[in-house]
Homo-oligomer: A and B are copies of this chain.
């Protein structure tokens, strides 16, 4: 029985990246749907639920993507609400790569040192990757500070992390170098999840920092989030710090993405969102 993935994407053109990745993960056929709205999801998911039956339900699955993460989250909700008891198919949400990227970045940080119980700063953390990474770190027993240039936005993001993931994260406003220095005082790790092409951590700060042990950056577009590092660094040591660039994280991200797709077809009742994808990250990081 062919493994069929229904790709639901809110963008005008369903992601080429997501489709190629799915084929490379062993999916046999993809049905691509572009411009999907949350209210369209139920009918499309029904088409997967009511065609094959019994054990064969595991050979159909749904992938939810697109560049807009909150749109993707709404589609995920609509998909899960479409199911009737055991009549369901597995579904994965990774709009804009948010879950796989956050999971990969956090797994890199966790595996690199002894972050549990220590202070970690998620810089520029109000976006989907930052909020997810903050929640995943908190789940590992890390004391997480989530920063933004605006106190209001960082508070709002922390509230959303609390509501969506049940995780306690502390907001902080960071507007200049002095703020950065202040917030990093006593920090063991820092993760930059700001917008592409914006430097959040200058070399003069991280290079001389007495406590920082692990640095990670998901921005691959110059200028990078962490000044004078390289996107391909994958745990490189510089001045006693272990550093991960976006491409270094990207390798693990792809593994997590592909493994998640493989998992979709092993049973018919998975709903892979941040938490589940993070667990998959734990399972694959050493393979």
What is the interface of chain A, defined by CB distance below 8 A to chain B? 1-2, 4, 6, 12-13, 15-21, 23-24, 29-33, 36, 40, 43-44, 46-48, 50-52, 60
Contact = CB atoms under 8 A, between A and B. Distances in A.
Contact of A52 (B15, B24, B52): B24
B16 A52 contact: no
Nearest to A33: B13
A33 B32 CA distance: 10
Contacts of A2: 23-24
A41 B78 CA distance: 30
Given A17-B50, A20-B51, A24-B51, 13 more contacts: A1-B24, A15-B47, A16-B47, A16-B48, A16-B51, A17-B47, A17-B51, A18-B47, A20-B47, A20-B48, A21-B51, A24-B52, A31-B32
19 contacts: A1-B24, A2-B23, A4-B23, A13-B40, A13-B44, A16-B44, A16-B46, A16-B47, A16-B48, A17-B47, A17-B50, A17-B51, A19-B47, A20-B31, A20-B48, A21-B51, A24-B52, A30-B31, A31-B32
Contacts of A18: 47
One complex includes copies of this chain to the number of 3
- Interface SS of A by simple majority: mixed
Nearest to A21: B51
Nearest to A40: B13
Contacts of A6: 16
A132 to B, nearest CB: 21
Contacts of A15: 47
B20 A52 contact: yes
Nearest to A6: B16
Nearest to A48: B16
Nearest to A15: B47
B16 A40 contact: no
A6 B44 CA distance: 19
A4 B20 contact: yes
Contact of A36 (B13, B21, B31): B13
B20 A60 contact: yes
Contacts of A12: 40
A252 to B, nearest CB: 14
Nearest to A2: B23
Contacts of A29: 23, 30
Contacts of A46: 16-17
